[in-house]
Amino acid sequence: MERLKGTAAIICEFNPFHFGHKHLLDVAHSEYPVVFGIMSGNLIQRGGNACADKYLRASAAVECGFDGVLELPFPFSSLSARDFARAGVHIAEEAGFEALVFGAEDPQAVKAATEIVRCASFEQEVSELVKEKKNLSYPKATEQILAKSLGEETASALAKPNNILALEYIKAASKRDILKIRIVPRSPDFASAGSLRKSGVPADGIPEKASPFFKNTVADNSLFPYLSVAAKLYSGDKAMLYGIDESLAGRLTKALREKSGTEEIISACRSAGDTDSRIRRALLSILFGITKYQAAEMPNHTTLLAAGEKGLPVIKQIRKQSSLSLVVKPASLTGNKQYENSVRAERVLREIFSVPDPLCRTPYIKGAK
């Protein structure tokens, strides 16, 4: 497939869109005339809901300079860092973008680890260590393997959230090696998305053009009542679902008998190998019946959420040459099981965001009357 020259993709959540995202965009635009976001829908990587509806977040991004925003659909938007990155990179590759741009807290450490993580034996070594040490999480196992070659200090730095994702993007992109990689240093001068959400997404904490789209944000735990109820009603084999092994399945079963709310369930299931994010993702798997098989697939579709003037010709090119189903009118795509499952999840989120049915939505086009 022909690469779209002069285009770059940024895998993102915009939860909310903040000054750090604007900085990343400006750096990308200095090298690539057209920059698209590949953004999580209404369910995000840490295993919960976004602070605002996906069309609003995408609209904010386009108003702040992005040329377009494509969706990283559910369930891929809510998988572990490794699987989230794999799915996002796949969309970037299949859409035909020339480059992938992302931030990292420690770009030099990431670059030092690049050749190690690109090696075919690296993934196997991490997996074997996880199997050997039952309570060791995948990120911790990765850190221990990297420490052997790079030292504990560098390996510890690589355990920061954006560095973890950066390495996963590099690993995923190395499989086909068709995307140019650009790593941008993450500046501590910008407030993080998490701190902004805790403050209720203040208007003075995000770009002025983004603020109208984040006037009515929702709490990170808005989905919690649904998670606990669904988990208590679930009667199938939890270990068949994504992110749940036999050990976590056992703890979940016990916690669901003895605890009430989602926060209590998460606390009761927490262990050295199971972080809160992993447990939330497990509960999402129960709520929506996400199997390990479904999560192992690659996205076969993406939805156009928003676009600007420079992005529209690129959309036409993607529709013409990509193997992905590019959804512009949500009701138009039929017979796609992945898409149907994503729409089913979005309908649950309607209750939280108070938005129209997902099949009735249309992309935000900047400047359109």
pLDDT tens, 137-161? 888 899 999 999 999 999 999 999 9
> Beta strand pairing status for 48-49 and 43-44?
antiparallel
pLDDT for the residue numbered 369:
64
Give the phi and the psi of residue 37 in degrees, each rounded to 5: -95, 145
pLDDT for the residue numbered 351:
84
CA angle at 30 for the pair 28 and 36, rounded to the nearest 5°: 35
pLDDT for the residue numbered 133:
84
What number of residues does the chain have?
Answer: 369
Helix axis angle, 224-233 to 246-258, nearest 10°: 100
CA angle at 242 for the pair 237 and 247, rounded to the nearest 5°: 60
What tokens were used for 121?
A: 């034996």
| Domain 4-105+163-219+298-365: CATH superfamily, name plus number | HUPs (3.40.50.620)
- DSSP E strands: which ranges in 105-234? 180-185
Percent of the chain with pLDDT over 90: 89
pLDDT for the residue numbered 12:
98
pLDDT tens, 97-149? 999 999 999 999 999 999 999 998 998 999 899 888 877 888 889 999 999 99
pLDDT beneath 50, residues of the chain: none
Q: Where in the chain is the domain with CATH 3.40.50.620?
A: 4-105+163-219+298-365
pLDDT for the residue numbered 176:
95
